[in-house]
Each structure stands twice: as C-alpha cells, then as structure tokens.
Amino acid sequence: MLYSFNNEGKYMVMFNPEIIKKSVAYEAEEGCLSLTGTRKAKRWQSIKVQYQNEQFLPRFKTFTGWTAQIIQHEIDHCEGILI
C-alpha cells in the first residue's frame, strides 16, 4: 500500500504504513470523497507510524493533530474501512 501526503509543506511517501502506537482518543467528524456528508469517527491525537520510505527503508515517525487524523483516515481506506 502506498500513501503520499503533504506533511507541513513537504510531501512525504509511506509504503505499508502501520500505526504502532496511539494516544489521546477523541471523536472527530469527517467528510470523505467516497461518501456524501460527514460522519463521526474515533481518532487519536498522536500516532506513531512504522512505514517504508521511497528507498523501502524502514522508518518510524510520530504525527499529531490534523496530519495524524488524515493518516488515520487514509489507512482506514486502505484496510477497507469507510467512515
């Protein structure tokens, strides 16, 4: 699975991202291009992700806030989950 996104002004690519640590749960309301309207979703304020970079080297990075929420949403899609 490949995921690319804007990480604070710099584009970042993650192959096979997996959330390995999460903290501070909250309820978000999200929209999605695959569905009409918005829906509630449980999200985590901080997530640590294990992934492979463009050279397929293993990496770990912690994301917070909006970036963490977007990553969680997209990983859900890759796992067949729609909000």
Could you give the 3-state DSSP secondary structure of residue 70? helix
Cα torsion angle, 12, 74, 8, 31, sign: positive
Q: Is the distance from CB of 35 to CB of 76 less than 8 angstroms?
A: no
Name the stretches of the chain with pLDDT < 50: none
Q: Which residues contact 70 (CB under 8 A, 6 or more apart)?
A: 5
Determine the pLDDT at residue 3: 67
Query: CATH classification of 2-78, choosing from 3.40.50.150, 3.90.45.10, 3.30.870.10, 3.30.70.100?
Result: 3.90.45.10
Q: pTM to 2 decimals?
A: 0.88
Determine the pLDDT at residue 9: 80
pLDDT tens digits for 68-77?
999 999 999 8
Q: Where are the domains of the chain?
A: 2-78
Catalytic residues: 74
Q: Is the distance from CB of 15 to CB of 53 less than 8 angstroms?
A: yes
Determine the pLDDT at residue 72: 96
